[in-house]
Structure 1
Amino acid sequence: MNPRAELLIDTAAGPAQVTAPAPRDVWWDLAGRDAHLGVTQTPTWLDCLCETGPYRDASRLYAFADGTRIVLPLVGRERRPGRLDAEESWPAGWGIGGPVASGAVSPGQARALLADLAHRPALRVAVRFRPQDAALWQRAVPGGFRLEPHMNQAVDLDGGFGAVWQHRFHTRARRDVKRAEKAHLDVEADRAGLLAPVFEELYDRSIERWAAQQHEPRALARWRRRREFPRERLAAVAARFGESCTIWVARNAGEPAAAIVVLRHGPHAKFWRAAMDRDLAHPVRAVPLLYRLAVEEACAQGCRVFDLGESAPGSSLEHFKAGFGGVGRPSPRYWRERLPVSAAERGLRTAVKRVIRFQDA
C-alpha cells in the first residue's frame, strides 16, 4: 500500500479534503450506495491492475464540507518520477473508471475535482466516465483537456430473461442461439479459475486469426496482444473476483470452441473477454449461445444491467452486440498531456502499420 497523504484544497465549491490513496473502507462504502457503480469502478479492479501491470494505487478521496464524498479510482505508473507519470482512470484497455459517489454531485464539486486533476504534476492525466452521469462531468471539464470519444453497449435486464429474450434479443440472435442448441454443445461455467488455461489456448488461436485478417506478422501480433493482455491476467482476475468471475466454455465434439469471461458486482454484470477457434465455433454459433447463457444467469442473479463493453460505432462488433439488446451510449474519456507523447506514439504506430500494410479489421 502506498503511503497515504492528506491535504486541504480551496475550491469554488468550498474547502475539500483530499486523501490519496483513497481509504478502502470509504471506497467500499460509497460503492455500496452508488446505484450506477460498475465492476470496473471497484477496489478489486484496481488491485487487478496493480497485480498484473506496472501500476500503483493513485486513487483520490474528495470530502466536501457539506458531507459529499467522492472517490476517483486512479492508477499511476510504478517507478516513474512525478513529471513522467501517467495517472489514469483507467489506462487504455481497462474499461470505464470515473468518480464514485453515494449521491448527487453538484456541478461545483465536479469542477473542483477536475480542476485538482488539471493541476497534477503527471505528464498525462485521463479519466473515462460512465454513460449514466457523463453529461455532468463533461460540463465540468476544464480547458486543456481533450475529448476521446468512446461508446459503451449494455443490455437492460428489467423484466427478467423472458422479457430480454423476447423483446431485446433480435431475431438473428435468437436464431443463432437455437442453432447452437440443436448442435448439442457441451457448456461449462467455471467460477474457480480452473478453465483459465483453456481460455488462454483459445485466445492464442484468436490472435493468429486476427493477425491473418489484419495482414500483421504473427510474432508482432502475439507480442502486441500479449503485452495488452498477458497470460497471468485472467488467472489474477479470477482469483480476486472469486465466484463473481465466470469463465464460460463451449466444446464442440469435445474440443474447446469458444469462451467468454463475465464479471459481476452487485446488480452489475460485465462481459470482459472472449476467444474462440472460429473453425469449431462459428458453424455451430457457439459464441451466441454463451452470450445467451451469461445474460440468463445475470437475470437469475438479480442483475439490472449486462455491460457488453466498448464498440466502435458502425462496426460489426456493435452490430453483433446490438443483436443481444446492447444499446450504445457515450462514455467519453478526457485527457491532457504536458508533452505530446500520445501524438508521437500514434505517429509511430501509423508508420509501422504502413510498412506492414496493416488492415484494420
Structure 2
Amino acid sequence: MIKIKKEGKVTERQFSAIIINTILGVGILTLPREAVSFADNAGIISVILASLLSLINLLIIIRLGLKYPDKTIFEYLQILLGKILGKIISFFIICYWFVFTAFVIRTFSELIVTAVLPKTPIEVVIIIMLLLVAYLSYKDIQVLGRVNELYVFIVIIPILLLTILSFKRGHMIYVLPVFRGHSMVNILKSTGRSYFSFLGFEIVAIILPFITTKKLSIEYGIKGWLIPSILSVIVVIASISVFGVFELKNLVWPTFELIKSTQFFALIFERLEVAFIATWVIALFTTASNLLFGIAMGGAQILNLHKHKTLVLSLLPLLYLFALSPRNAYELFNLVDIVSIVGLILTTILPIILLILAEIRGKGGKAIDEESN
C-alpha cells in the first residue's frame, strides 16, 4: 500500500478553515427552501438537527482517523476491510465526491448565468471555474491550507452581515410558532433534505494525517463545524421571516433572493447581492478545490501513484461533462437530492461500521504496521 508522501502540514486553524469553507458551498443557497419543504416553520428545528447529525458524524470520522493518525481513509479502509473491498469502497467515495464537485460547479454556474451573466454560455462559466479550481487543487496541502485560512473570514463576515441586514424586512410572525402542529416525521424529512448543506465535513478524512497537532483535531473540528452551522440557522430564520414559508417553497435560490431583497440600508447601500455573489464565488472556489484535492489524493492512493497532481488535470474533462449533464436547474436539484442521500449513507453508516471494526481490532495504524514488518 502506498504511503502518504508528506509534503507539508496544515495548522489547526487551517484545519478548521478547510472544514468551514468546504461546508459553505452551494448548499446554503437552497437551504431555506429545503428546510421548509416538509416542516414549514419547524424547518428551523430540521436545520439544527441536520447540523447536529453532521457534528456527530464529524467526530466519528475524526475519532477513526486518530486511530490511524498517519493514514487517510483510503489507506485504513484497506486495513479494516481488506485490500480488495477497501479499494472498492474507496472508489465509491471518490465517485461520490466527484459527482458532488461537478454539481457544486454546475450550481454555481446556474446562478451566475441567471443572475449576473445572462448572455454568457454556461459552458464558459463552468470551464473558467474548473481551471481556477484545478490550479489550487494541483498545489500541495500546505498551499491549500493557507488559501482556506486566508479566505475564511472573507467568506463568513460578508454573508453574516448581509443576512443580518435582511432582518430589517423580516416579520417574526412568519417564524412563530415554530412547530405549528407538524409531526416529527415531517421534521425528519426536512432534516434529510437539509443535510446536504452540511456535507463536505468528511474532507477531514483526507486532511487529518497532515494536521500538525492531532490531539487538537477534535477541538478545531468542532470550531470548523460550529461557524457554518450557526450561519445556516441564521439564514433560515431570516429567510422565513422575510418571505414566509409558502413563498419560500417556490424560490429557486432563496438565500440569493434574501440578499437581493435587502437593496437599501439608510439609502447608502444598494444591490447588496453583488457583494454576496463576490463572496460566494470565493466560498465555492474553496469548496470545489478542497473536494478535487480529496478526489485526486484518493485516486492517487488507490492507483499507487506518488503524486496527486497527476490526476487533477485528467479529471477536468470528466468534471466538465458531469457538470453539464443536468438539462436544467430542476433536474440538477433532483440529482442533488440523490447525492444528499448517498452522502448521508457514506458519512453516517460507513464511519460507524469502520469505527466498530477499529475498536474490535483495538489497534491503531502504527501498531498494525509494526506487526506486519
TM-score when normalising by structure 1: 0.31
- Pick 1 or 2: higher relative contact order, CA cutoff 8 A, min separation 6: 2
> Larger strand proportion, structure 1 or 2?
1
TM-score when normalising by structure 2: 0.30
